[in-house]
Structure 1
Amino acid sequence: MRLEGLIAELNSIADFSGLQAGLVDAEGCVLYAPGAPAYPEIGAKLPAAGFVTLPLGPQDGRMISLFARGTEDAAGNAAVLQALKLVTGRLSERSEHAQNAPELLAAVLEKRTGAGVKKLETLLGAAEAGTVYRLLIARSDADREDREQAETVGAVAAEIFREERECPVCVCCVDGEYYAAVLCRFGPDVADNGAAALQYALEIADTVNAEAMIPVHVGVSSGFAALKELPAAFAQALSALTTGAEFELERNCFEYDKLGLERLVCEIPQDTGIEYVRETFGSRLGSERASEELLRTVKVFLDCNMNASEAAKAMYIHRNTMTYRLEKFQKLTGLDCASFGDGLRVRIALLILQRLGSRSD
């Protein structure tokens, strides 16, 4: 376990046990002290008297011992030593958790064991009422069948979640493709767990791209309350990932909850989609270049929640130009994009065109 992780665990243990423990190396140099009265400063030599020590063994590449403030009598020091032994046991359990949780998560996602969910629940511990989970899966754009790239992505994600013991990270292989997966756990105090999960996804994608120069897409599942829903969450995250990539959306992280229309369009057979586009736009849009300009204008207008001023700003054109193009589109197609019904119909047709275009590339 790394030194930062040990310190975090000691602070966590101190919160419920009240034991103020520090860390010292083999030369007696204090690596961490809790800041309580009569404790030495970090970097100082641990006094030979007044403290009880207990070897912790090799940690982060060096021999480390625990220490705590002693008492004036042997019985008191024995009690402190016993408390330190309990701390080492707790640290050992958490170290085992860090090793086993990722393997169990991978086993559940790969459907290698039916008992994996129960074991994972036991390992992660009971969740308080109102806890919500979300699953993130990341996949390399370069080679989906390259385990090494998936492990690189997983290593970056593991570093990001290093202090989050209830958020295991694993690399799994499903249907011949490799993914890095993160099980995020949000307590009831997190007001918007969807936004928090998306922020984690963006951090993973940006860090992998910056440090390993591997372009990745990340899919985020809906929130779920029980780990038995993990397989369904994986299907959702994968659906978000593949749908976002298929529509060539500008962002690289996709939330299942936010891709409702895109997922619906993916279920439409190609022939049906082509007929729907023909029925919606007809053959009156004119030249290909002119029609592309009109369709792009309409798309930006819909993306801006039917706000002509915002759409004009987004396209760097005058508002009057935006109004003229929308009126021209309505005259050619008979569709008023500012109305809910026509706007929805046009948006679906545009998504079908976008999907057909990405498939033909």
Structure 2
Amino acid sequence: MRLMHTSDWHVGRSLHGTELLAEQEAVLSGLARVVREESVDVVLVAGDVYDRAVPSADATGVLDRVLSRLQAAGAKVVLTPGNHDSARRLGFASGLLTASGVHVRASTGSLDEPVLLADEHGEVAVYGLPFLEPEVARHELGADVARSHQAVLSAAMDKVRADLYFRPGARSVVLAHAFVGGGLPSESERDIAVGGVDLVSPAVFEGVDYVALGHLHRPQTLSPRLRYSGSPMAYSFGEAGQRKQVWLVDLDATGLAEVRAVVLPTPRELTVLDGDLADLLADPAHEAVTDHFVSARLTDAVRPADPMRQLQTRFPHCVHLEWSGAGTRDDGRSYTDRLRGRDDLAVAGEFVTHVRGVGASAAERELLGRALAVADREEVAR
């Protein structure tokens, strides 16, 4: 049996306010091509199907079309909710979906009830663990379970292993959404720490043939049978240059046979540019990235006027801007020191210098003075 391990689709996510639904649908629909070309039997989605608990109508439409394409390509689908999803909403109509080969495993109470599949070697039991928020899950898993991710996942895996005991010879796969020790985070994951404790030991997952992990957005291998697929797209500029992928997992008669990566296409690359505004607008070296999502770090000594509008004339998909010029540097004085012995106009003038990198002009100082005088009169009138 061949499985495709994916996770962290985050359907409906944006990049610095720019909608990504078109890019997401392109990448996720491309999974159907991998299903056909690689003869994939089952697609696994290990949490964070949506980016928010209440997804938009457009986001649900994308997921509907993607699942339909995967099913039409010949694969069954097993998916679980992550910390971004609402398990109850994602689990709606799961009974009906099962009949079409889409298995949504969203209930903590039934996490030890596997999706049972079969090939020429016998039975494969796929256990979908929804994201287990410790304070909630501990009461569903047992009164003596501690309030930590380690404790609730240990209790969940004990239930999985207990069920496997009665399935001799069955090969086993677990989907889990967690921060497992040894994994490296990216900038785009939401923190799932509870009281500062979020790490889960890899030893928790002993006793199964393959563990399909979700939550961390970079693909990585913790052990041959314990892996993160990563997100199918980059969701932060810290992931610029990462090659996104899925894992193809082959099971033979004895268990895990082989795992290999399939690189996914990138609908629009992410690029970080540094330099003066004039250089970014004119340098021919940047011609190759004009259609990328761009984050610009401006180094101009003086904050430029309306820099985003200017950048977008050359980089239409520039979505993020920061200025690291001289005016942002702190001179080390406290707020009290900045105010001591200064009137309101002097304080306002220093603020302009701090923010913009150059002091206010004579005309600007006159305008500031008039504004402060009006404010003083209104304060006295009160």
TM-score, reference length from structure 2: 0.23
Structure with higher helix content: 1
Higher relative contact order (CA 8 A, sep 6+): 2
Kindly name which structure, 1 or 2, has the bigger radius of gyration based on alpha carbons: 1
TM-score, reference length from structure 1: 0.24
